[in-house]
Amino acid sequence: MSIVTGLHHVTAIAGDPQQNLDFYAGRLGMRLVKRSVNQDVPGTYHLFYADGAGHPGTDLTFFPWPDLPPGRQGVGHTVEVGLAVPEGSLAWWVDRLRDGGAALQATETRFGERALPFHDPHGLPVALVEAPERPDFTPWDGSPVPSERQIRGLHGVRLLERQLAPTATFLTDGLGFRLVTEENGWQRYAVGDGGSGQVLDLHVSPEQPRGEWGVGSVHHIAWRVPDDAAEHLAQRRILEAGRRPTEVIDRFWFKSVYFTEPGGALFEIATDGPGFGVDEAPDELGTALVLPPWLESQRAAIEAGLPPLRMPAAGAGTPTQAR
């Protein structure tokens, strides 16, 4: 039995925060549901994009560190983030992304799913994947993307590894994934019913160098558990599987345990609650800088050190609009 229910969020490293906001809110039409800071490095933003309600599993987040060099794709890293879009919508998205200057690749079929790979303005590998409707999606009325075309949430992630067995064994024995199928050298693992938001693809490439964090790379993958009890169970199972999980860390909107999988990619276990509505009304999500209570005493200094952000207009989102 799986001890995680699917993806909770994925966090990546961006460059200029305004360019990041212009692209993900203005071009991709995702809602900025939380405008906060990296709780471990509070001098930088932590921007959370999700569906209209900020549901766990729909959440792609960024640490904007524009002074970092570009990341390097390689083994021991997450090399692509998949975002779910409605079936039959990729042609529309091709036009929108091409108009926005994204670096598009050819549409392809993976495991029976149509996917459009591209790189965001800072080099992050992303794929829009056509997937069936999911019950945990709420449209964002303020999106520049029509509700029938909007991104539904996280679809899956792709990892590159030097060796298959250590990571595969940990996924199945430690986290309760199961191997579903294999195609073109990629193995697909899943939890739950294996639907959108519940899959991880694994590829072995022993000749590749080790990946490195930097602008345009994934920082970590967070997997969902429903509550505190499940979090502690997951922590224990991860320890029993030979990994070294952290203590439970209170992130205010959820609780977290961090660890590296055997290949080196950073994973997190995150609780579904209390959620982003604990400190903002539903119609105010993402409109102001919010801090967890333990950082409120530093608000003046934090705000003084952050660059201002403006919400993009409906036609924003091109790489040339960064300031």
φ/ψ of 252, rounded to 5, equals 75, -55
95 to 27, 51, 229, 292: CA distances (angstroms)? 11, 22, 46, 40
Of residues 222, 203, 172, the one with CA closest to residue 73: 203
pLDDT band at 322 (very low <50, low <70, confident <90, very high): very low
Predicted local distance difference test score (pLDDT) of residue 143: 97
pLDDT averaged over every residue in the chain: 95
Quote the Cα angle for 26-123-106, to 5°: 85
What's the alpha-carbon Rg for the chain, to the nearest Å? 18
Q: Answer whether residue 288 shows pLDDT above 90.
A: yes
pLDDT in tens, 171-199: 999 999 999 999 999 999 999 999 999 99
pLDDT classification of 317: cutoffs 50, 70, 90 = very low
Read off the amino acid at residue 176: G
* Sign of the alpha-carbon dihedral angle for 230, 234, 235, 240: positive
Q: What is the pLDDT of residue 136?
A: 86
Please give the average per-residue pLDDT across 21-43, as a whole number. Answer: 97
Confidence at 1, pLDDT banded by 50, 70, 90: confident
pLDDT category at 100 given cuts 50, 70, 90 is: confident
pTM higher than the cut 0.75? yes
In 10 A of CB 92, how many CB atoms?
15
Return the SS3 of 284: helix
Residue of 317 and 141 predicted with greater confidence: 141
Contacting residues for 323 by C-beta, under 8 A, at least 6 apart: 16, 18, 19
Residue 23 has pLDDT above 80, yes or no: yes
